[in-house]
């Protein structure tokens, strides 16, 4: 069997590009998309090419960006628009192959091994054709990496931007890949690169040349995986776009308009997050086998902890008890908290463990049934409220509307987006 032909398509400066589609006067002006500083979301989410020339970085604060570029134009995000354009672009990709795996909202892998012959048989020409089609039909540009595995295809798309194609061929790929900084390799994050740097490993080639036992000892399974990536051994398939992965976690988080400085405030903030997580689990007939809590303080330092539950549950009572216990362990007064996330872990479709345990205690079983009935009644009321809100505010998202009621101006964000509901 011949080598695979994998493309990685990356929408250039996606958020900013979408915002500028109907603002041609700003095309040559430094522009950044950011959250609202008034609601504690003054962070750069995306920037256009002119802004990049000033050294504007994603995730830096607005005041830092403004210091670099006083004339920087700031635009608010419109996530519904980004989702719409992401779907539209992936629909274009489907004209060229049915094997498409989105990677976040603005990137996708395409396996064109089986369809390349339909488009002339030249992978680079096909990549250029896809770039041209996306640009002509949407006004957006993409960078495309072409290679024989997913890791190198992504590396290629990152090498030349914007609106470009980079080929990393099966013959001689080492000459292109190995001189690259280790941090350019997929999943080689800051912590991993800093750890390996201490041992003289700073390029992909240096990692490839070392004994695989070394990175595995330093980084665990991820170390071995990175070594395999560096040696061109990635065999992971491109998963079909519409194939549903099993849900592994369900999470909700929020950034609060004011710092949380008292335990009572933390508890009050946890409850609606736990309620939302539990409601989602019940809605999809799922149960949580564990809970994690992540706190972020005003210096953006995060603290996380997780625990397994005695039995799978989708009751807010149980999830809140576990979350509050974790938060109590994590929070060290007088720390000031700006955001919290609650995530249900080890999600399953059965509560058999719960039922087996409670058969030994009829009182506990009856109590659990009453609690479930109560929370199902709350779900029904919630659905009625959402229906009324939908009539009054047809353009508002259901979750966003409820979050506005619960948190005021705080903004709700999802935990573990690639795996959650």
What is the SS3 assignment for the chain? CCCCCEEEEEECCHHHHHHHCCCHHHCCCCEEEECCHHHCCCEEEEECHHHHCCCCCCCCEHHHHHHHCCCCEEECCCHHHHHHHHHHHHHHHCCCCCCEEECCCCEEEEECCCCHHHHCCCHHHHHHHHHHHHHHHHCCCEEEEEECCHHHHHHHHHHCCCCCEEECCCCCHHHHHCCCEHHHCCCCCHHHHHHHHCCCCCEHHHHHHCCCHHHHHHHCHHHHHHHHHHCCCCCCCCCCCCCCCCCCCEEEEEEEEEEECCHHHHHHHHHHHHHHHHHHHHHCCCEEEEEEEEEEECCCCEEEEEEEEEEEECCHHHHHHHHHHHHHHHCCCCCCEEEEEEEEECCECCCHHHHHHHCCCHHHHHHHHHHHHHHHHHHHHHHHHHHHHHHHCCCCCHHHHHHHHHHCCCEEECCCCCCCC
Burial pattern 345-370, b for ≥16 Cβ within 10 A else e, equals bebeeebebbeeebeeeeeeeeebee
Question: Catalytic site residues?
Answer: 107
Q: What is the edge-to-edge ordering of all strands in the sheet holding 337-345? A: 302-313, 288-297, 337-345, 250-260, 411-413
What backbone phi and psi angles, to 5 degrees, belong to 258?
Answer: -130, 150
């Amino acid at each position: 069997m011949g080598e695979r032909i994998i493309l990685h398509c990356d929408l250039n400066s996606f958020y900013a590009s979408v915002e500028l589609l109907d603002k041609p006067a700003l095309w040559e002006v430094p522009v950044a998309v950011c959250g609202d500083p008034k609601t504690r979301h003054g962070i750069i989410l995306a920037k256009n090419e002119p802004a990049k020339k000033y050294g504007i970085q994603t995730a830096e604060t607005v005041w830092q960006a403004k210091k670099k570029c006083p004339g920087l134009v700031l635009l608010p995000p419109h996530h519904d628009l980004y989702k719409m354009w992401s779907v539209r672009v992936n629909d274009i990709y489907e004209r060229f192959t049915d094997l498409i795996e989105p990677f976040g909202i603005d990137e996708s892998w395409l396996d064109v091994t089986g369809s390349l012959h339909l488009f002339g048989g030249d992978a680079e020409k096909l990549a250029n054709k896809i770039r041209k089609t996306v640009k002509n039909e949407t006004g957006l540009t993409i960078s495309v990496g072409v290679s024989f595995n997913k890791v190198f295809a992504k590396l290629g798309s990152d090498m030349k931007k914007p609106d470009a194609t980079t080929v990393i061929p099966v013959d001689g790929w080492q000459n292109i890949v190995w001189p690259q900084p280790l941090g350019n390799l997929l999943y080689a994050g800051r912590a991993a690169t800093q750890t390996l740097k201490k041992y003289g490993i700073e390029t992909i080639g240096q990692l490839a040349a070392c004994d695989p036992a070394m990175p595995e000892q330093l980084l665990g399974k991820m170390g071995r995986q990175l070594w395999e990536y560096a040696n061109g051994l990635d065999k992971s398939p491109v998963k079909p776009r519409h194939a549903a992965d099993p849900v592994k976690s369900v999470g909700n988080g929020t950034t609060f308009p004011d710092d949380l400085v008292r335990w009572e405030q933390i508890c009050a903030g946890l409850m609606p997050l736990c309620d939302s997580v539990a409601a989602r689990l019940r809605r999809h007939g799922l149960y949580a086998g564990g809970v994690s809590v992540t706190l972020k303080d005003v210096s953006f330092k995060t603290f996380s902890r997780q625990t397994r539950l005695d039995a799978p549950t989708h009751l807010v009572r149980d999830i809140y008890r576990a979350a509050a216990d974790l938060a109590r362990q994590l929070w060290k007064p007088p720390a000031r908290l700006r955001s919290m996330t609650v995530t249900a872990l080890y999600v399953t479709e059965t509560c058999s463990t719960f039922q087996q345990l409670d058969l030994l205690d009829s009182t506990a079983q009856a109590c659990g049934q009453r609690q479930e009935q109560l929370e199902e009644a709350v779900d029904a009321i919630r659905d009625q409220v959402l229906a009324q809100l939908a009539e009054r505010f047809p353009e508002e998202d259901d979750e966003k509307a409820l979050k506005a009621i619960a948190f005021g101006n705080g903004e709700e964000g999802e935990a573990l987006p690639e795996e959650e509901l």
